[in-house]
Amino acid sequence: MIQNQRAKRSWSARLVLLIPYLWLALFFLAPFLIVLKISLSQTAIAQPPYVPVLEWAAGWAGLKAFFAALSADNYAMLGSDWLYPVSYLKSLEVAALSTAILLAVGYPLAYGIARSPRRLQPVLVMLVILPFWTSFLIRVYAWINILQRDGLLNDVLLRLHIVDTPVAWLSSDTAIYIGMVYSYLPFMVLPLYAALEKMDESLLEAAADLGCPRGRAFWLVTLPLSLPGVAAGMLLCFIPIAGEFVIPDLLGGSQTVMIGQTLWMEFFANKDWPVASAIAVALLGLLLVPMLFYERMQQRSLEGGR
């Protein structure tokens, strides 16, 4: 009820809004429109390597010629070449399965931290965040040390006589999943912990008082109340994993390619900018729904459902 509605805003207030607005419009929104436009263009051996290029000097005629030359060929190609649908499905599969594993690993960890003594909790949370501050690349690289053919894991397994010949851990789906779970664990644990931590202890006491055993109280009280955290954690993991490049590139094999790698390859190796753009647009379309969910959640939590 108490909100100051000034009809006229001061110049400083305008500036505060305008500067980040213009920045984002120029460096976030405009690039997307360009991607969209280039995804409708044709590859050309030129600089830039696509046609048509919009000729502002040609005026209206140029604009008309420009729109006439646009085509959906790239999208048609994405559908016809089996490589693209397969890598899309692969991305979805990896993202979904990784998120499920992350939830299974992250929930007990977050729950354990939330149930630990109060004084210990900030330290434990810090310990979960700390690896996030070290480089992403380092964390993926650390696993190469362990998983490669003459790496530590095989060394240990051979010495314990669990396996007779070295196992090819690296360049496999297993390695991808290990890398994903390892890299994204903080993103799953932190929202879960935030949801579990603010839960009132007296709710569980009330459940016990009303005759609910502790085990059942978890399913009836704790879990339902932590669902917003579960949703936040899953979105925070699923969306970036689906577009992940570094982890599958370094840990995965050449037979399984995720969509992020396909885009990278089209762009850097094949120099096919229009196709890379079309992949980007298609990937965005795939992630649009979960991203909108995430945006709604952010807005609600930060702006109080205005």
Partner 1 sequence: MAEAATQEQTAGDRPLVRFAGVAKRFGQITAVEEFTLDIGEGEFFALLGPSGCGKTTLLRMLAGFETPSAGSILLDGEDIVAVPPHRRPVNMMFQNYALFPHLSVAGNIAFGLRQERAGRAEIAERVAEMLALVRMPDFGRRRIDQLSGGQRQRVALARALIKRPRVLLLDEPMAALDKKLRAETQFELMELQRRLGTTFVIVTHDQDEAMTVADRIAVMDRGRLAQVAAPSEIYERPNSRWVADFIGEVTLLEGMLAEGAIETVLGRFRAAMPAGGRKRDTVWLALRPEKLHIAAQRPADGNLNAIPGTVFEIGYRGDMSIYKVRLADRSLMKVALANTSARGRASFGIDDVVWLSWPPEAGWVLTR
Partner 2 sequence: MGRRASIFNIVSVTLGLAFLYLPIVILVIYSFNGSRLVTVWGGWSLTWYRALLSDRAMIDAAWTSLRIAALSASAATVLGTCAAVALTRLGRFRGRLLFSGMVYAPLVMPEVITGLSLLLLFVALDVDRGFWTISIAHTTLTMCFVTVIVQSRLVSFDRSLEEAAMDLGCPPLKTFLTVTLPLILPAIAAGWMLAFSLSLDDLVIASFTTGPGATTLPIRIYSEVRLGVKPEINAVCTIMIAVVAVATVVASLASKRGAVRRERAGA
Residues between 4 and 63 with contacts to partner 1, criterion CB under 8 A:
4-6
Q: What is the footprint of partner 2 within residues 200-219 (CB under 8 A)?
A: 201, 204
Residue 2 within binding range of partner 1, rule CB under 8 A:
yes
**Strand pairing report for 50-51 and 42-43:** antiparallel
Identify which of residues 16 and 65 has a Cβ nearer to partner 2 in the complex.
Answer: 16
What minimum distance in Å lies between the beta carbon of 13 and partner 2?
Answer: 6
Distance CA 49, CA 139 (A): 36
The site map against partner 2 for 62-101 (x = CB under 8 A) is: ----------------------------------------
Work out how close the CB of 169 gets to partner 1 at its nearest, in angstroms, rounded to a whole number: 54
| Of residues 241, 242, 239, the one with CA closest to residue 293 | 239
Non-local CB neighbours of 64 within 8 Å, separated by 6+ positions = none
For partner 2, which residue of 92, 96, 103, 142 counts as binding (CB under 8 A)? 142
Binding of partner 1 at residue 3 (CB under 8 A)?
yes
Which residues inside 8-47 make contact with partner 2, applying CB under 8 A? 9-10, 12-13, 15-17, 19-21, 23-32, 34-35, 38
Q: Any residues with CB less than 8 A from the CB of 111 and at least 6 apart, and which? A: 192, 196, 222
Interacting partner of 263 out of partner 2, partner 1, none (Cβ under 5 to 8 A depending on kind): partner 2
How near is the Cβ of 163 to partner 2 at its closest, in Å? Answer: 15
CA distances from 17 to 13, 24, 222, 247, 256 (A): 7, 11, 41, 37, 45
Positions 164 through 203 that interact with partner 1 (CB under 8 A): none
**Whole-angstrom Cα Rg for the chain:** 25
Establish if 56 lies at the interface with partner 2 (CB under 8 A): no
By the 8 A CB rule, do 259 and 239 touch? no
Binding to partner 2 in span 154-173, by CB under 8 A: 155
In the complex, least distance from residue 287 CB atom to partner 2, rounded to whole angstroms: 7
State the minimum distance, in angstroms, from the CB of residue 239 to partner 2: 4
Q: Which of 72, 89, 115, 162 binds partner 2 (CB under 8 A)?
A: 115
Could you say which of partner 1, partner 2, none residue 1 binds, taking C-beta under 5 to 8 angstroms by partner kind?
Answer: partner 1
Residues near partner 1 (CB under 8 A) are 1-6
